[in-house]
A and B are shown apart, each in its own frame.
Chain A
Amino acid sequence: MRRRLASLVLLACLFLTTGCWNRAELNDLRIAIAGGIDRAGDKWEISYQTIIPSSMASGTGGSTGSSTQPAIYVFSMVSDTIFGARMKSNLEASRKLYVAHAKVIVVGREAAERGLEELVDLFLRNSEARETVQLLITDGKAKDLLNKMVPPEKLPGESYSNILAKESRFISNFPKKTIFDFALSLHSDSKSIGIPVASFVGDENTDEELEKMRSLDVLKDISPPLSLRLTRLGVFSGDRLVGYLSGRESMGLSWLTDQVKETELSFPCPQAKNKHNSIEITSSKTKLNPVRAGTHYTMLVSVNLNGNLMESTCNQDLSKSEVIHDMEKNIEKEVRDQIFTGWDAVRQMGVDVTGYADIIHRSFPKEWKAIQAAWPQEFRRMDIQVQVNAAIRRPGLIQKTEEQIK
């Protein structure tokens, strides 16, 4: 009986000696919603945008002054390694940095140009950080993006990922890419990936305006001078940023790589070239089929897309199938045009951001060995043949244009 009692007491003591293990109360955590990576000389400069919860939620009891305090707090550390910099935050932060909820990593231009291998290693090795974190490139320093508000949202970090998600879903112009996608590209045959680039754009874009975005006061501005926007696509070769694609070129790339989910497409009227129609593309499928012609390869790109007509100013009777047919032809022409714009830019850059190397490897596994070493040159010599099949599924609720009704 005494032994049993003693063992029970000892067992009870175990609960007290767990040393809290990895226990952390929520108010001991500094929750990061976005991270930033820059280079400071040979060292890494890591910035984190963290949440101040009390100014976020509408107060429960004692919390006051929720409108006067910004909901985020940004700080930066410099160290030899990324993780080292993160741990250095303990020198100045009152709470433990908690990065599992960070959704976006912003990479500064210099850091991107000098390579992100260490970042991938950190994310794959570390259990706290998630590989599903999205990547975003910025023209200047990541730190300067993170320390600015994105009106009207209270949490800029949240809006980065929301912008990326919505854009990939509805426009498909700059498809979002995660750290995991980036790591996959490093191990693919093409060794290339396109990452969206975001920056603050405005009419004048002065330093004063940029400075203004750092303050909470900008939320009071009805029309802020600057807004965060996805501007272009950063093209990586290996882990280094080597070039950019413009919006239209990037759209072509999206068609070429079957990354279009939904998008909008404007195309001219069959008769009047200065008048435009707009179609909402609701589904699209790109089939890629490589063929070998002699020593060269040609990619047969076949795009099938469906859409609903959303806006039409052509003076035509849409109830006639020929008219619809003509419109579909114009859509196909426009898509083909976009595709070639993208393809020319990619081929000129000489970086296989289309990932065609992997398709050719899979289709011609034997021949691949021969061209593997000289793939960049081979890629430049590659051709595409594009076939687009567009279908307008619904011309809309009205058959005629406004002009005809009058």
Chain B
Amino acid sequence: MFIRRLKKFLYSYPNPELEQPQQARQAPSPEGKPLSEDLSDSLELLQKSMGKNTDFVIHYLAFDEESDYKVILCYIDGLVDQLLLSKLLENLNRLKLDNLLRADKAPADWLKNQLAIGNIRTIYTEEDLEHAILDGRAVVLVQGMREAFAVYIAGGSRRAVEEPSSQTVIRGPKEGFTEEITVNIALLRRKVKSPQLTIETHVIGTYTRTNVSIAYIEGIASPEVVKEMTTRIQSIEIDGILESGYIEELIQDGVMSPFPTMYNTERPDTVAGGLLEGLVAVFVDGTPFVLMAPVTFFRFLTSSEDYYQRFDISSFLRFVRIISFFVALLLPSIFISLTTFHQELLPMPLLISLAAQREITPLPTLVEALLMELTFEVIREAGVRMPRAIGPAISIVGALVLGQAAVQAGLVSAAVVIVVSFTAISNFALPAINFSSSIRLLRFALMVFSGSFGLVGVLGVLIPLMAHLVSLESFGVPYLIPMSPFNKTNQKDVLIRAPWWKMRTRPIMIGDQNQMRQTKDKKSYAELEAGRPRDPLA
């Protein structure tokens, strides 16, 4: 009964189908209030809505003295590129009214061509006018025209493309995403130069109006997943999106699960690799972290470097990560249960050594381990939050004062310090930070249970945890695929990383469209080489 309620509790995420369909917000709002032909009306509107802002700039221009046509150019200082702006002003000043009047074609098209700069969007409504300005566009309004022209000359200072700080590799591309969504999408496009790479953009956040783009490769990504992703993103209604974490929490499956069901990365190559396996990526403006879904348990034990290194080394590293996963999750709790409940499982010399350490320590093993774990978490948190300049101080305090001194003073046994340190190091060996954080939480639960019930308690946590993992899904894909449900062909890239010439198919998640990665029958050089009998005389 309790388990059922717990499960119900864990799986109760907001059902997107119950939300109101939000189609209206997506379409280019044709039913907004149209712009007035009279320039003074528009000017009044702009003054009213944004005139208070000191960074809002209006340039008054005229083609010539006698003309009725007046032109204004407005933008927000700092959002536009100064160089392009001066070019635009130059172009505007060169315009001749006569040409505009005498043009055979529609004046709007003529003007658009004459501006000859950047991406120009024609604006028809008052709402669009405001949004365009706030988006970093310079808007040209002309007396007597129903259209305004939003020139995309966004600029200002932005961070350059740098090496990603959260996911480093030794071999592999060193570029990382930036805060600029256009740059990020361009980084991806440079890797996947296919028209099938589809980018769909949504604007989310009533105040922030953040661009959120869904990227996938048409023909590889499952249409159901893309549809599901679009529905969930459109169902978001919030005042602001400042980071992709907002989106992740708002749309992921199993919201109460400790395990993440969306992957995040700073690396364009990881995203490109994911898209080629049929994942859907979500770019959010203003953050270098790009989300990907659907994601499985084993993807969190994978680094993009696995695919750049030799397969044997990668497979070994996978093995190391799996070990460190279990160590990070279980080592402290197993240590506690062995030393306080199941001493018969310890080899005699180890038991004596541990018992000798216990002689002088005042606290029970559970409390000791919990305290050390908490201490470590504090050091870690301090290390992240602290100004970089005092970084070395924390390692001195952490390592010497808290570690060595505590042992020497007899407050903590050396074994517990070793266990806690090894656990922490193992935790860092996992490539995905959000995944290792969830293990950290589970570790504490396991420790409390092991301190109360021994190994029975550890199993009492692990068995429900396993049941939970098996039933968890990410965008319709079972979390533990290809282990449960088992799939033989997908095993090539789970616990081991098979050589590339053996991985002919994409991992199967949903549907089975476009499975082949490599030509079905043609053998690669490597395979021919591997199958060739050795000729000793050659």
Hey, which bits of chain A sit against chain B, CB under 8 A? 15, 18, 21-27, 29, 31, 33, 51, 53-54, 56-57, 59-63, 98, 100-101, 103, 128, 130, 158
Contact = CB atoms under 8 A, between A and B. Distances in A.
A364 B341 CA distance: 50
B469 to A, nearest CB: 22
30 contacts: A15-B448, A15-B452, A21-B341, A24-B340, A24-B343, A25-B339, A25-B365, A26-B343, A26-B354, A27-B359, A29-B343, A29-B355, A31-B352, A51-B355, A53-B355, A53-B356, A53-B358, A56-B352, A57-B353, A57-B356, A57-B357, A60-B356, A60-B407, A60-B413, A60-B414, A61-B360, A61-B407, A61-B409, A101-B344, A128-B344
Contact of A25 (B351, B364, B453): B364
A5 B356 CA distance: 43
B170 interface: no
Interface residues of B, number: 30
A51 B408 CA distance: 23
Nearest to A98: B343
Given A56-B353, A60-B413, 14 more contacts: A21-B452, A22-B454, A26-B365, A27-B355, A27-B361, A29-B355, A31-B351, A51-B355, A53-B352, A53-B358, A60-B357, A61-B407, A61-B408, A158-B348
Nearest to B347: A101
Interface in B410-437: 410, 413-414
B340 A62 contact: no
Nearest to A23: B340
A24 B339 CA distance: 8
Given A25-B340, A26-B343, A101-B344, A18 B452 contact: yes
Interface string B324-364: 00000000000000011101100010011111111111001
Contacts of A98: 343
A59 B353 CA distance: 10
A83 B336 CA distance: 29
A260 to B, nearest CB: 28
Contacts of A130: 344
A204 B356 CA distance: 38
Contacts of B356: 53-54, 56-57, 59-60, 63
A130 B343 CA distance: 13
A27 B351 CA distance: 11
7 tightest A-B contacts by CB?
Answer: A57-B356, A53-B355, A100-B344, A53-B356, A26-B358, A27-B358, A26-B355
Contacts of A31: 343, 351-352, 355
Contacts of A51: 352, 355
Nearest to B414: A60
A95 B204 CA distance: 67
A57 B358 CA distance: 11
B460 to A, nearest CB: 11
Contacts of B361: 27
Q: Determine chain A's interface SS by DSSP, over half rule.
A: loop
A157 to B, nearest CB: 10
Contacts, number: 88
A45 B515 CA distance: 76
B42 to A, nearest CB: 53
B103 to A, nearest CB: 69
Contacts of B357: 57, 60
Contacts of B348: 33, 101, 103, 158
Interface class of chain B by DSSP:
helix
A23 B343 contact: no
A249 B354 CA distance: 44
Contacts of B344: 100-101, 128, 130
A32 to B, nearest CB: 11
Contacts of A25: 339-340, 358, 364-365
Given A61-B407, A61-B410, A128-B344, A26 B360 contact: no
Contact of A18 (B360, B365, B407, B453): B453
Contacts of A33: 348
B454 A23 contact: yes
Contacts of B452: 15, 18, 21, 23
A103 B343 CA distance: 14
A252 B291 CA distance: 77
A158 B351 CA distance: 13
A43 B295 CA distance: 69
Nearest to A161: B348
B496 to A, nearest CB: 38
Contacts of A56: 352-353, 356
Most buried by B among A23, A103, A158: A23
Find the residue from A26, A51, A57 having the highest chain B CB count within 10 A: A26
A161 to B, nearest CB: 10
Contacts of B414: 60
A98 B413 CA distance: 22
A21 B456 CA distance: 12
Contacts of B358: 25-27, 53
Nearest to A57: B356
Interface in B110-125: none
Given A26-B354, A60-B407, A61-B407, A54 B340 contact: no
B372 to A, nearest CB: 15
A130 B348 CA distance: 14
A101 B453 CA distance: 22
Contacts of A54: 356, 359-360
B359 A23 contact: no
A20 B360 CA distance: 21
A101 B343 contact: yes
A212 to B, nearest CB: 26
Nearest to B449: A15
Contacts of B410: 61-62
A158 B355 CA distance: 16
A130 B344 CA distance: 10
A98 B352 CA distance: 13
Interface in B438-454: 448, 451-454
Contacts of A27: 355, 358-359, 361
Nearest to A7: B2
Nearest to A155: B352
B461 to A, nearest CB: 12
Contacts of A21: 341, 452-454
Contacts of B413: 60
Contacts of A26: 339-340, 343, 351, 354-355, 358, 365
Nearest to A19: B452
Contacts of A23: 340-341, 451-452, 454
A164 to B, nearest CB: 15
Contacts of A57: 352-353, 356-357
A98 B344 CA distance: 9
Contacts of B408: 61
Nearest to A59: B356
Interface string B392-407: 0000000000000001
Nearest to B359: A54
A262 to B, nearest CB: 25
Contacts of B409: 61
Given A31-B355, A51-B355, A53-B352, A62 B453 contact: no
Nearest to B363: A25
A59 B409 CA distance: 12
A60 B339 CA distance: 17
A98 B341 CA distance: 12
Contacts of A158: 348
A100 B352 contact: no
A15 B457 CA distance: 11
Nearest to B345: A100
Contact of A63 (B339, B359, B451): B359
B43 to A, nearest CB: 54
A287 to B, nearest CB: 37
Nearest to B413: A60
A18 B340 CA distance: 14
B409 to A, nearest CB: 7
A31 B346 CA distance: 12
A100 B355 CA distance: 15
